[in-house]
Amino acid sequence: MSRAPLVLGVESSCDETGFGLVSEGVLLGQGLASSAAQHAEFGGVVPEIAARAHLAAAVPTLRIALADAGVELADVTHVAATSGPGLATAVHVGLAAAKSLAWALDVPLYGVHHLAGHAAADTLEHGPLPAQSIILIVSGGHTSILHVGDLVRDPIEHLGDTLDDAAGEAFDKVSRLLGLGYPGGPAISRAATGGDPAAFAFPRAMLRPGDAPYTFSFSGLKTAVARTVEKIERAGEQVPVADIAASFEQAVVDVLVTKALRAVEDRGLSTLVIVGGVAANARLRAVAAERCAARGIELRVPPPRLCTDNGAMIAAVGDLLVRSGAEPSGLGIAADPSAVLHGAQLPLLR
């Protein structure tokens, strides 16, 4: 009798070291370590420090994941690892660990696209995706609207991306200029509590008629916040951090939700899935919920702990690949730090 697959997912693309264990769509357990505190003084992730931290955290974090799931390493039947995109040095550490494990256990290895992992995270909470959906990915490095069918079998259609900064990057940069530290998303969110989201009319880019319908741009917003802060400081006044943070958040959220809903309606679909680190943002979740409910659109957003990087989401893609009968990538797979999202597996299935 063949046993149910037990997929170990390995994530190391940025500053989180994650291991997750998934079997047939069910998250059994996970371990997560973060080097965010080590990057705080630099205001952003330092690749070399992230790589060293992954190396230090890998074995202890894997142990935590196994204990959390109540399984032994020998029970693992497949290994999946982020092979891109991400910081090259960081991806290399997790991918090398995954290769060692797959070789030692003599089990198949799958190279997974990190952003497909973000999308798959939602299936751990809400079950299989519908036949067709619009997925808004909002992370530190990417902001995209995708039309997705079967996440691991069908090609993924990019409807639009950002022309400049990713949404998370905008949070991180504005946080830095408000002196709120890294990572910026949670810091801005905390600072925005009690602030007035209508206090400052920051620009909503790319929303004019004739603008590309699903394309984003956040660098002008960041500059507008910087100018506002400079002006207030020059006038010798106290910077109203809560109001600026809340107004900035509202501007980002407005554009994200407006464009994502436009894609859902233009494509005649009924489900919007929002994933990636910025999907942990409370204002984004609330505004999206309100606007989706008003239009009868189903909204799916993973719980915040599955929005930011983790190993469970990579295991979730691996588990979907295994169950769809995908060919393993094999131990020869290389890291692809700038991989574009065409499909869930790297290299592409032909």
HSE toward the beta carbon, residue 150, CA cutoff 13 A = 8
- Tell me which stretch binds Zn ion (CB under 5 A): 102-110, 119-127, 133-141, 334-342: 133-141
By CB under 6 A, residue 183 contacts ligand KG4: yes
The only residue of 84, 186, 318, 328 in contact with ligand KG4, by rule CB under 6 A: 186
By CB under 6 A, residue 84 contacts ligand KG4: no
For residue 281, the partner it binds in ligand KG4, Zn ion, none, with Cβ less than 5 to 8 A by kind, is: ligand KG4
By CB under 5 A, residue 61 contacts Zn ion: no
Nearer to Zn ion, 243 or 309 (CB): 309
Q: List Cβ neighbours of 55 (8 Å cut-off, separation of 6 or more).
A: 93
Q: Show the tokens assigned to 292.
A: 């989706």
Q: Residues at the annotated binding site for substrate?
A: 137-141, 172, 185, 281
- Tell me which stretch binds ligand KG4 (CB under 6 A): 143-151, 258-266, 278-286, 295-303: 278-286
Note whether 29 and 70 are within 8 A (CB): yes
Distances (CA, A) of 196 to 191, 224, 243: 11, 17, 5
| Beta carbon of residue 331, minimum distance to Zn ion (angstroms, whole number) | 25
By CB under 5 A, residue 309 contacts Zn ion: yes
Q: List Cβ neighbours of 337 (8 Å cut-off, separation of 6 or more).
A: 84, 85, 86, 87, 88, 91
Three-point CA angle 43, 89, 340, nearest 5°: 90
Note whether 121 and 313 are within 8 A (CB): yes
Beta bridge partners of 275: 137
Q: Residues at the annotated binding site for Fe cation?
A: 114, 118, 309
Distance of CA 336 to the CA centre of its chain: 17
The only residue of 281, 312, 313, 319 in contact with ligand KG4, by rule CB under 6 A: 281
Number of residues located near ligand KG4, criterion CB under 6 A:
20
Note whether 279 and 307 are within 8 A (CB): yes
By CB under 6 A, residue 144 contacts ligand KG4: no
CB atoms within 10 A of CB 269: 18
Note whether 314 and 322 are within 8 A (CB): no
Residue whose beta carbon is closest to ligand KG4: 185
For residue 308, the partner it binds in ligand KG4, Zn ion, none, with Cβ less than 5 to 8 A by kind, is: ligand KG4
R_g of the chain, CA atoms, integer Å: 20
By CB under 6 A, residue 168 contacts ligand KG4: yes
The only residue of 29, 277, 302, 311 in contact with ligand KG4, by rule CB under 6 A: 277
Q: Residues at the annotated binding site?
A: 114, 118, 137-141, 172, 185, 281, 309
By CB under 6 A, residue 140 contacts ligand KG4: yes
Place of tokens 């509202």: 250
Closest residue by Cα to residue 183 from 172, 193, 192, 191: 172
Place of tokens 């008003």: 294
For residue 161, the partner it binds in ligand KG4, Zn ion, none, with Cβ less than 5 to 8 A by kind, is: none
For residue 171, the partner it binds in ligand KG4, Zn ion, none, with Cβ less than 5 to 8 A by kind, is: ligand KG4
**Which residues contribute to the site for ligand KG4 (CB under 6 A)?**
14, 139-141, 168-169, 171-172, 183-186, 189, 276-278, 280-281, 308-309
